[in-house]
Structure 1
Amino acid sequence: MSRALKKAELGPNGLTPLKVVPPQVQVKPLKFNTVDFMSFCTQEPEPLDFVLPGFLAGTVGALVAPGSTGKSMLALQIAIKIAGGHSPFPLHTKTGPVLYLAAEDPAVVLQHRIHKIAKHIGNISLISKNLRLAPCDGMNIQNADVEAGIIASGTGCRLIILDTLRRFHEDEENDGRAMVAVIAAMERVAKATGASVLFIHHASKSAAVNGQGGTQQASRGSSVLVDNIRWQGFLAGMTCDEADERGVPLTDRRLYVRWGASKINYSAPMQDVWLMRSGGGLLVPADFGPNPLSRCQYADYPVSGFELPTAPPPLRESEGDGFDEMIAQAHAHKEASDVCSF
């Protein structure tokens, strides 16, 4: 070592200290694809393709409802309609393949549910061709293999249904950052397949108890689950006030649910539709006529006071979309006050 090297330049052990050179970071500027503004102004755009009213193809949406309100049945009826079947309530949409990943109900439950409503859903052969119904265990959509599998199965579909959200991730739903990643995975699926991705989700307890199921804030968990999606539908039970306004006995109100959309980004709001649970769980348009017996005839709930018919009168298929006659008048029974006590 040269004597000219000053002592101050030496390290603690009398050795020349090493100089740490930070690694050079390669910066790759992100390139943005700008649109042709002039063509946007001068060329007529293609009509927006809606899978459901206001639910744009290739985007992510949610159907939010409390437990045991019929959200899985509604999702199944929507899937059947898009796959080429009938809908007992007005639902105008294009026909195409649907992938339904049922991670909450086992295959035997789905079989019972579908068998009970099969005679009302129309062209079974066409539906069987277009509806890809897959009972499955819970899985994490952020897993690369799971995401790739959904994309492979959902390519060419108009709609992909995930039932329910809780079964497709492993994170805390109140964690905003985690939910951003979950929604981002669904957006990648939507972009890769061109399908709309609809996840079924539970409403918060406070929304269910306070009759606020029709609000955006009814969704359980982080606000990201609402803010980062483009469409949110809901299914809400009938409140006491709503039952009173429609002349429905309070003990009968659990037969009715209200379907609507609390968030629509790309079209005008849709009108809420009142539905009633009929035989086999099929959701049909509610009839608030003067005869309360007609409201109980197709009830799935055990009804005391009289014996229900062994089978409800068949719903008659009409020309075009839906059914011509939704609910037949009930046969003569005991007094209405004895009918709906359960």
Structure 2
Amino acid sequence: MPELSNKLINKPAVKPSEILKKGKTELDFVFSGLLAGSTGLLVGAGGAGKSFFAMGLAASIATGRWAPGACTLGFIPNIAGHVAYFNLEDPQAIIENRLYDLMQHFADDADAIEMLDHNLDILPLAGSLLAIADKNGANQPVVAEIKEYLRGKNTRLMIIDTVSRSHRMDENDNSQMALYNQILTNIAEETGAAILAIHHVNKQALSSNKNQQEIEGGIRGASALKDNARWVGYLSNLSEEECGKLYDPNFTGYISSDHRKKYAKFEIAKSNYKMAEEVTYLRRAAGGVLLPASLSPDSRAASKGIFTPRKAT
């Protein structure tokens, strides 16, 4: 029987008999639901705290420990590994100040600081003109450099902040956004790193800001960006509708509309390879660092800590 000769088809077919002998492969999740070698999106309005969430998650994976932000997933990594955070949006001074605020939660842990120095690279690339792709396809020299960098560091997670700063394509064109995701998938598969790209919602979702379904429908640009990602998480402020219905026993009691922006809500809207987690809540601490919040519609449940994520010991 003739074999496919296209050079792009460079992997052998999966044989049922071989799989029966080998058994199921244990899946390697970099964090909850995002598989190593796959792509995901972290979506939310400007000011929702996406960069702080991502930085906390990066610190957690780099150290293999609990970190502010990562607790929203109820997740402590089984494996500490290298994280590359490509910040294409913020000035270096802002990045440094955010990192300083985050590091206050590690200040008494010398081992964690040492691991962060070794495993966490936050790259201030605003104004660098780095573009993974344009309307003609992949920017091969940039893609090749990224692959070489990720392989050399044995990277577990690459964070791109933000999607719009990492390409020169038409964000509203489904075919171009599908190609953009395909390029990210190629980088992820060839390096073994998971890739988490940070993205914004559109103005309609920002103005309504009521619930996750509205935000999910309001992801900016073509739907192919969300459809082709293997994992999608949403971060938002509490809505007006939720105010007065959620109770915080440690701070404000029932949350008023005046205090709603002191909190954030995280939801996994799409998780192709693992059941999604429950909705989880955070509060904004000094500098904007996101910390776990034990919010509940029932003051008795909240006071018992039922919704408090577990913390590393």
Would the TM-score normalized by the shorter structure come out above 0.5? yes
Q: How does 1:15-94 map to 2 (within 5 A)?
A: 29-30=5-6, 33-84=12-63, 85-88=65-68, 89=71, 90-93=74-77, 94=79
Letter in 1 for 2:91: P
Q: Quote the Cα distance in structure 1 between the aligned partners of 2:81 and 2:28.
A: 13
Partner of residue 260, structure 1: 267
Match of 1:207 in 2: 205
User: Which residue in 2 is equivalent to 1:281?
Assistant: 288
TM-score, normalization by structure 1: 0.73
Residue-by-residue CA offset, 1:97-151 (whole Å, 9 max, x unaligned): 0010011111111111111221213411111100011111342102112111211
Q: Following TM superposition, by how much is the alpha carbon of 1:42 offset from its aligned partner in structure 2, in angstroms?
A: 4.3
> For the Cα contact (< 8 Å) 1:86–1:120, is it kept in 2?
no
The one of the two structures with greater contact order (alpha-carbon pairs below 8 A, sep at least 6) is 2
CA deviation after TM superposition for structure 1 residue 44, in Å? 2.4
Pair 1:99–1:284, CA change in 2 (3 A): same
Q: Which residue of 2 aligns with 1:105?
A: 90
Alpha-carbon distance between aligned partners in 2 of 1:70 and 1:267, rounded to the nearest angstrom = 25
Residues 32-41 or 231-240, more deviating? 32-41
Larger fraction in strand: 2
Shift of 1:95: 1.0
Find the aligned partners of 1:217 and 1:322 in 2 and give their Cα distance: 35
CA drift at 1:287: 4.1
> Could you say which residue in structure 1 is the equivalent of 2:249?
none
Q: Write the deviation string for residues 305-332 of structure 1: whole angstroms up to 9, x where unpaired.
A: xxxxxxxxxxxxxxx9448xxxxxxxxx
Letter in 2 for 1:239: S
Greater Cα offset, 212-221 or 178-187: 212-221
> Which shows bigger deviation, 118-127 or 214-223?
214-223
Asked whether 1:139 is paired with 2:130, we answer yes
**SS of equivalent to 2:118:** helix
- 4+ runs of 1 displaced by more than 6 Å? none
CA contact (8 A) 2:89 2:161 kept: yes
Q: 1:177 to 1:212 in 2, by over 3 A?
A: farther
Uncovered stretches (5+) of structure 2, i.e. residues with no partner = 134-138, 247-253, 298-309
Structure 1 spans left out of the alignment, 5+ residues: 1-27, 291-319, 324-342
Task: State whether residues 65 and 213 of structure 1, in contact with CA within 8 Å, keep that contact through their aligned partners in structure 2.
Answer: no
* Structure 2 length-normalised TM: 0.80
Answer whether contact 1:213 1:235 (CA < 8 A) is retained.
Answer: no
Alignment coverage as a number of residue pairs: 267
**Structure 1 residues 289 and 224: alpha-carbon distance in aligned structure 2, compared to 1, 3 A threshold:** closer
| Residue aligning to 1:228 | 228
Q: Compare CA radii of gyration and give the structure with the larger one.
A: 1
Alpha-carbon distance in 1 for matches of 2:143, 2:211: 30
Counterpart AA for 1:95? A
* Contact residue 151 and residue 192 of structure 1 kept, 8 A: yes
| Distance verdict in 2 for CA 1:29–1:44, change over 3 Å | closer
2:281–2:292 Cα contact (<8 Å) kept: yes
Q: State the secondary structure of the residue aligned to 2:46.
A: coil
